[in-house]
Chain A
Amino acid sequence: MKPSPFEYHAPRSLDEALGVLAEEAGAKVLAGGQSLIPLLNMRLAAPAHLVDINRVAELDTIEVSERGVLVGALARHTVVERAADAARVQPLLREAIRHVAHPVIRNRGTVVGSLAHADPAAELPAVLAVLGGEVEAASARGRRTIAAGEFFLGPLESALDPDELAIAAFFPAAPPRTGTAFLETARRHGDYALAGVAALVTLDEDLRVSGARAGYLGVGAVPLVIDLAEPAAAAQAGRPPGTLDWSAAAAFARERVDPESDIHADASYRRHLVGVLTERAMGAATAAAFEGVR
């Protein structure tokens, strides 16, 4: 359980980091290391070069505006979790981070690192996906913005090129009259979830549901986003505002996921969880939306 040897680079600036990534093919970026170092310890990964960005202070940022939250590559989960203004603009971020492993892991692990790791069972990729967020990538060749829908290509595979560094991620703000909820089911507290859902419900000025979306983790090769506008119409048909029945949304979501079986849970159980979690999360998000307009 010791990592293979590697050549270590400790850049002090972004330009220096990008220079190393441009020069050394097969270099891996080390930020919080809470996913990468287990892979190295178990020798599931053995990169020849490691670029430790922990001293690149310019990446340790959180910028909150009315548009959303821009999280820099070195912002630790704990710091984002505690940022009250970030939670005000986009509550889903804090709600999801509280499900990421344990507090001690969150002290080191980074939000952007979790995205770049692209584990489909992780919380933050599903949040970025359901919000339609973006990842900012930089390389010695230039910069580009990658939409969440194009960022996650497969398990542990992102759209980042080998010489690129994810320098920030943008989580758009919740529109007015929007409620959010994050729910997951795990075997043990802090484990990767068997299935999880990040839910958003937006009300119009007459307090009718005008938008309903859910992002799923643990049930596919990449985070899955399902637009629940159609079952939302059924959920409120003939009902007074605030007393929605999301059971149709549960069935709708169950039909649209294609989870795999593994030793932790079989596919049918995961599909069942998707239904249960969808109904609960949409209910909680609806309640939060009504809470917000009261």
Chain B
Amino acid sequence: MTHEVALTVNGVHRTARVPARRLLSDFLRHDLGLTGTHVGCEHGVCGCCTVLMDGEPVRSCLMFAVTAAGHDIVTVEGLAAPDGTMSPVQRAFQECHGLQCGFCTPGFLCTVTALLKDNPRPTDDEVLEGISGNLCRCTGYQNILKSVHRAADLLDEEA
């Protein structure tokens, strides 16, 4: 038994026929070929698979594609401008060395993009709370913290 899932991903209308048990994370990677969304723990602990659903960060491994049908999804592939110019959050991570191996980065980028939209000038504590659900196995947290503040500056400058 399969289901036709139609949804918007990075501004593009996409459809695929999948079984109900297909996780949104696997749907994005396997059915749509968008492998930027990383799959770490598959039980909601690591945060690597975080994507934006209707603008809010959610765990794509804790949602079925059939539940996401009809919604608007943004993955890490959708953060840059159409011409490939990186978003302020992406540039801040590059400038501040906010990534090492890069595995956790797609989740951080999506989480931080939403965090700064909600709170454009977070304190250190607010950043720590905001990214507390994302794990970095390289433990590069200090530079990630710097990246978030730098992203806030960049967003401010470009507003």
Contact of A33 with B63 in the complex, beta carbons under 8 Å = yes
Interface residue total, chain B, C-beta cutoff 8 A: 28
B residues near A190, Cβ cutoff 8 Å: 132-133
Q: Does B47 reach chain A (CB closer than 8 Å)?
A: yes
Q: Does B16 reach chain A (CB closer than 8 Å)?
A: no
Contact of A1 with B21 in the complex, beta carbons under 8 Å = no
Partner pick for B56 among A6, A33, A50, A107, CB 8 A cutoff? A107
Partner pick for B20 among A6, A41, A103, CB 8 A cutoff? A6
Chain A positions 1-32 with a Cβ under 8 Å from a chain B Cβ: 1-8, 10, 30
Known interface pairs A7-B1, A30-B67; A107-B57 also in contact (CB < 8 Å): yes
Partner pick for B47 among A6, A33, A78, A104, CB 8 A cutoff? A104
Q: Does A264 reach chain B (CB closer than 8 Å)?
A: no
Chain A positions 98-152 with a Cβ under 8 Å from a chain B Cβ: 101-105, 107-108
Contact of A107 with B58 in the complex, beta carbons under 8 Å = yes
B residues near A34, Cβ cutoff 8 Å: 44, 59, 62
Q: Does A256 reach chain B (CB closer than 8 Å)?
A: no
Q: Which 10 pairs show the lowest CB-CB distances between chains A and B?
A: A102-B133, A8-B20, A38-B43, A1-B42, A3-B21, A37-B62, A104-B133, A104-B57, A107-B56, A102-B132
Nearest CB in chain B: distance from A99 CB, A: 11
Chain A interface size, under 10 / 10 to 19 / 20 to 34 / 35 or more: 20 to 34
Q: Does A67 reach chain B (CB closer than 8 Å)?
A: no
Contact of A108 with B63 in the complex, beta carbons under 8 Å = yes
B residues near A33, Cβ cutoff 8 Å: 62-64, 67
Nearest CB in chain B: distance from A4 CB, A: 7
Known interface pairs A7-B20, A8-B3; A105-B44 also in contact (CB < 8 Å): yes
Interface string of B20-43 (1 = CB under 8 A from A): 110100100000000000000011
Contact of B20 with A1 in the complex, beta carbons under 8 Å = no
Which A residues fall within an 8 A CB radius of B? 1-8, 10, 30, 33-34, 37-38, 40-42, 50, 52, 54, 78, 101-105, 107-108, 189-190
Chain A residue with minimal CB distance to B69?
A10
Q: Does B73 reach chain A (CB closer than 8 Å)?
A: no
Interface pairs (10), CB distance under 8 Å: A1-B43, A6-B20, A8-B3, A37-B23, A40-B21, A50-B20, A54-B67, A103-B129, A107-B58, A108-B59
A34-B44, A38-B62, A108-B62 provided; 13 other pairs, C-beta below 8 A? A3-B23, A8-B1, A8-B66, A33-B62, A33-B67, A37-B23, A37-B63, A41-B43, A50-B20, A104-B47, A104-B59, A104-B134, A105-B62
Chain A residue with minimal CB distance to B128?
A189
A residues near B75, Cβ cutoff 8 Å: none
B residues near A4, Cβ cutoff 8 Å: 21
Known interface pairs A37-B44, A41-B42, A52-B66; A105-B59 also in contact (CB < 8 Å): yes
A residues near B58, Cβ cutoff 8 Å: 104, 107-108
Nearest CB in chain A: distance from B63 CB, A: 6
Q: Does B130 reach chain A (CB closer than 8 Å)?
A: yes
A50 to B67, CA, bound (A): 11
Contact of B43 with A42 in the complex, beta carbons under 8 Å = yes
A50 to B20, CA, bound (A): 9
Q: Does B105 reach chain A (CB closer than 8 Å)?
A: no
A78 to B56, CA, bound (A): 11
